[in-house]
């Protein structure tokens, strides 16, 4: 019986986002079937096979969703206002990626830092 490979090729967009974020303090978290980048505990941008998930905020949502290769992010059949999905065709150049990252950074920097979750107490 042949074994199925569990090795999954790394998503090249993850490396591109790490490089684009440069010296900024960020964390990565597995979410939405991909990798999300967080700043001060707030989701900034994420990547998956379907493209980028960009947090732009409610005020910038309509303009961002109207851009080429962008659409409203949907999850479970519900629209997520303030988040747009950018198809892979919309992030092929470093300039494309910088555009979306700059929009996400502009919004997320307006948010207060989230407190880190405390681990649950153990009963003794």
Q: In CATH, what number is assigned to the domain containing residue 89?
A: 3.90.1150.30
Domain residues for the domain of 57 are 26-108
Residue 69 lies in a domain: yes
Residue 76 lies in a domain: yes
Residue 56 lies in a domain: yes
Arithmetic mean of pLDDT over the chain? 87
For the cut 80, the answer to whether the pLDDT of residue 9 exceeds it is no
pLDDT category at 26 given cuts 50, 70, 90 is very high
Token couple for 74: 């949907």
Number of independent structural domains in the chain? 1
| Predicted model pTM | 0.81
Give 100-111 pLDDT, tens digit per residue: 999 999 999 999
């Amino acid at each position: 019986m042949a074994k199925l490979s569990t090795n999954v090729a790394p998503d090249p967009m993850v490396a591109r986002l790490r490089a684009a974020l440069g010296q900024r303090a960020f964390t990565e978290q597995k979410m939405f079937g991909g990798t999300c980048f967080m700043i001060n505990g707030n989701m900034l941008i994420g990547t998956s096979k379907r493209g980028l998930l960009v947090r732009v905020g409610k005020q910038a949502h309509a303009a961002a969703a109207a851009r080429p290769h962008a659409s409203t992010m949907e999850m479970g059949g519900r629209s997520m206002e303030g988040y747009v999905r950018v198809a892979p065709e919309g992030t092929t150049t470093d300039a494309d990626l910088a555009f979306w990252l700059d929009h996400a950074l502009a919004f997320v920097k307006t948010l207060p830092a989230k407190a880190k979750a405390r681990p649950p107490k153990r009963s003794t």
